[in-house]
Amino acid sequence: YGKYMKEADVRELSAKISVHNNDFAERVSSVVALVASHARPERIVFIKGTENEQKEILKMIMDEGSLLQLNPKNYPNSYLYRSNPNDVARTEKDTYICTSGTKDDAGPTNNWMHTSEAYSRLFTLLKGAMAGKTMYVVPYWLGPLDSKYGMGGIEITDSPYVVVNLNIITRTGTAALERMAQTNRMTVGIHSTMDLIPSNRYICHFPEENRGQGLIISLNSNYGGNALLSKKCHALRIATSMARNEGWMAEHMMTIGLEEPSGRITYISGAFPSSSGKTNLSMIEPPEELASAGWKSWLISDDITWMHPNKGRLMGINPEYGFFGVAPHTSYKTNPNAMNSIKKNTIFTNVAVDDEMNPYWEGMDTKPEKITDWLGKPYTGEGNAAHPNSRFTSPIKQYPHLSKEYENGNGVPVSAFLYGGRRGDLVPLVYEAYSWEEGVLIGAMQRVETTAAAEGKVGVLRNDPMANRPFVGYNMADYFQHHLDMGRKLTHPPRIFNVNWFRKDGEGKFMWPGYGYNTYVLKWISGRVHGEIKDAVKTPIGFVPNLENFDSGKVSRNVMKELLHVDSRGYLEEMKATKPFLESFGERFPDDLWKAYYSMKERLEKE
């Protein structure tokens, strides 16, 4: 690695990030000084997390011209940001797990770089990267402030856009710093927008560095998961690695409390890939018929859930403080709670606007006459007005049905895991795994259609186990084993279900109404979890609802029959198609999952 930097210099860098005494203040100042000495910013600003500070930074970005004020009457204190067109989604090809071992540490689903090589490349690029700019130091806390399950980090960034987003999606500033000092735990993130040169774009994760509390370095991107390091980089990639070492789970999961007419609340967590329905399910509004009977849903988290075992159950918390949600197809019809939630104090990125500066995106309830597209050009009707991965950044506290347990540091007991994704074919609306092991297999075998949330082709099938393929910071085979181990440790492991809201008919139309209607499926799931719905139908892949006692609202029996049909031949094909992926983990893939695989296959062959 001598091409860039001497090995001794690399070790010195690493030591400055770890600081091996226990003075927390010294840890912070050592890291800040190190980054400053390389990146050479003009000034350094420590973020305190006050409202005024947020206002001032927003105003400064507006004065610079890269943030536009939206219609203050309809969207008070809300803004539009247009990112560089070459920087509109997570770029998995530029995302690396860096260790001092071998590529096996990261496994076949991640890019890997040796720690020394990464340090060399990145600190070389970082030389003078912040010249003439302000370097912000943003302390943030993930989880309820008093939670023993929470943890903190700092993001050092030259992007004021990142700062105002972090101030919404995490608990930033002094309070976060104090909690980190108490725990003496701090993940370190270093981010520079630089010149947004795609060939120099790196999103590197070092789970071993910084005393095993993790280091993240992100260069040449200023978009979402690439730049808001608290989110995918820390709360998932670094956290999954810590969670394995410490015996808990960091999942790409939404969590809700489903309240029944009796007042009983069942906590349900769901893992669907990016842009495949987590935020929407977390904000579900039960249809009139169920709502009037007393069904309600309370939001805990819309994207990430951290889960710790306690007294035989998994207790979930939301590490985040705000939403970074997909805008397109959010409407009063599909997701009224989101629409009401994002009406103020919200930053929109890459949406379109009408001639009165109201935000607009595809699928909104009404389409204005004059539209300016996400690039700032008059919209001609061709292509998308808003970018398909345009997003809103909005405070969770504005959400109208936030769970009263949201700030509970002990978390909520999770009773069910849902896996799923976009599958136009094959996968039934819902089925329940026969055991924890089979549930883990179902999660591991997820093969779903890709979306615009990551760069690359949209709508092609790819394996995305537990919707966490892009976000597990170590070898995914070990992640599967960790799943198996966690469930076995629990006296009350969550029941595992597979759901699919995206089945299409011969004309390419969705067969299930989805959105609020998914409450009918949740109702069945809750009945199963509590042992109240006993006569489900046994199929080779698991239990499916018995049509005789499945409440499907206005969806006809015929459609339901098709939606719940298990196509054994199709599933045998599916198992065959997914096998090379499971085999790509070699010896490391857990034997118990192969056992589950072959017993499911055998049942399908008997059909």
| Interacting residues toward Mn ion by CB under 5 A | 274, 278-279, 303, 325
Kindly state the smallest distance separating residue 274's Cβ from ligand GTP, in Å.
3
Across 70-196, the runs of DSSP E, i.e. the strands, are 79-81, 95-99, 111-114, 134-142, 151-157, 171-172, 187-192
Q: Write the interaction track for ligand GTP spanning residues 229-268; mark x where CB under 6 A is met and - where it is not.
A: ----------------------------------------
The answer to whether residue 274 forms part of the interface with ligand GTP (CB under 6 A) is yes
Among Mn ion, ligand GTP, none, what binds residue 241 when CB lies within 5 to 8 Å by partner kind?
Answer: none
Binder of ligand GTP out of 510, 553, 569, 586 (CB under 6 A): 510
Kindly state the smallest distance separating residue 51's Cβ from ligand GTP, in Å.
26
The answer to whether residue 270 forms part of the interface with ligand GTP (CB under 6 A) is no
Kindly state the smallest distance separating residue 173's Cβ from ligand GTP, in Å.
25
Kindly state the smallest distance separating residue 465's Cβ from ligand GTP, in Å.
15
Among ligand GTP, Mn ion, none, what binds residue 515 when CB lies within 5 to 8 Å by partner kind?
Answer: ligand GTP
Q: Name the residue nearer to Mn ion (CB basis): 359 or 413.
A: 359
Sign of CA dihedral 396, 300, 440, 147: positive
User: Is residue 276 among the annotated active site residues?
Assistant: yes
CB atoms within 10 A of CB 199: 6
3-class secondary structure, 388: coil
DSSP 231: I
Sign of CA dihedral 511, 516, 520, 524: positive
**Residue range at the interface with ligand GTP (CB under 6 A); choices 203-211, 271-279, 488-496, 595-603:** 271-279
Give per-residue burial for 296-335: e unless 16+ CB within 10 Å, then b. bbbbbbbbbbbbbbeeebbbbbbbbbbbbbbbbbbbeebb
Q: Name the residue nearer to Mn ion (CB basis): 143 or 325.
A: 325
Q: Name the residue nearer to Mn ion (CB basis): 41 or 421.
A: 421
The answer to whether residue 514 forms part of the interface with ligand GTP (CB under 6 A) is yes
Q: What residues have CB less than 8 Å from 331, skipping those under 6 apart?
A: 339, 363, 364, 365
Tell me which H or E stretch contains 218: strand 215-219
Among ligand GTP, Mn ion, none, what binds residue 139 when CB lies within 5 to 8 Å by partner kind?
Answer: none
DSSP 45: E
The answer to whether residue 552 forms part of the interface with ligand GTP (CB under 6 A) is no
Note the Cα 157 to chain centre separation in Å: 21
Pure H helices in 320-466? 336-341, 436-444
Q: Name the residue nearer to ligand GTP (CB basis): 480 or 515.
A: 515
The answer to whether residue 501 forms part of the interface with ligand GTP (CB under 6 A) is yes
- What residue is closest to Mn ion based on CB? 279
Kindly state the smallest distance separating residue 303's Cβ from Mn ion, in Å.
4
Residue with token string 């607009």: 360
The answer to whether residue 280 forms part of the interface with ligand GTP (CB under 6 A) is yes
Binder of ligand GTP out of 191, 234, 237, 278 (CB under 6 A): 278
Residues 329-368, interacting with ligand GTP (CB under 6 A): 329, 334
Q: Name the residue nearer to ligand GTP (CB basis): 220 or 518.
A: 518
The strand pair at 187-192 and 249-251 is best described as unpaired
- Give counts: helices (H), strands (E), the chain: 17, 30
Kindly state the smallest distance separating residue 357's Cβ from Mn ion, in Å.
25
> DSSP string of 525-555?
HHHHHTT----PEEETTEEE--GGG---TTS
The answer to whether residue 516 forms part of the interface with ligand GTP (CB under 6 A) is no
Report the distance separating Cα 169 and Cα 215, nearest Å. Answer: 20
Tell me which H or E stretch contains 292: helix 288-293
Q: Name the residue nearer to ligand GTP (CB basis): 278 or 469.
A: 278
Kindly state the smallest distance separating residue 220's Cβ from Mn ion, in Å.
22
Among Mn ion, ligand GTP, none, what binds residue 501 when CB lies within 5 to 8 Å by partner kind?
Answer: ligand GTP
Report the distance separating Cα 52 and Cα 448, nearest Å. Answer: 44
Among Mn ion, ligand GTP, none, what binds residue 280 when CB lies within 5 to 8 Å by partner kind?
Answer: ligand GTP
Q: Name the residue nearer to ligand GTP (CB basis): 323 or 589.
A: 323
Q: Do the Cβ atoms of 387 and 374 come closer than 8 Å?
A: yes
Q: Name the residue nearer to Mn ion (CB basis): 303 or 478.
A: 303
221, 276, 390, 415: the catalytic one is 276
Binder of ligand GTP out of 325, 359, 413, 470 (CB under 6 A): 325
Report the distance separating Cα 461 and Cα 450, nearest Å. Answer: 6
Residue with token string 């069904």: 295
Q: Name the residue nearer to Mn ion (CB basis): 279 or 518.
A: 279
Pseudo-torsion of CA 520, 526, 529, 534, nearest 10°? -60
Structure tokens, 438? 């089979």
The answer to whether residue 328 forms part of the interface with ligand GTP (CB under 6 A) is yes
Phi/psi-derived region of residue 456, left when phi > 0, alpha when psi is between -120 and 50, beta in every other case: left
Chain contacts with ligand GTP (rule: CB under 6 A): 272, 274-280, 303, 325-326, 328-329, 334, 453, 501-502, 510, 514-515, 518
Active site residues: 276
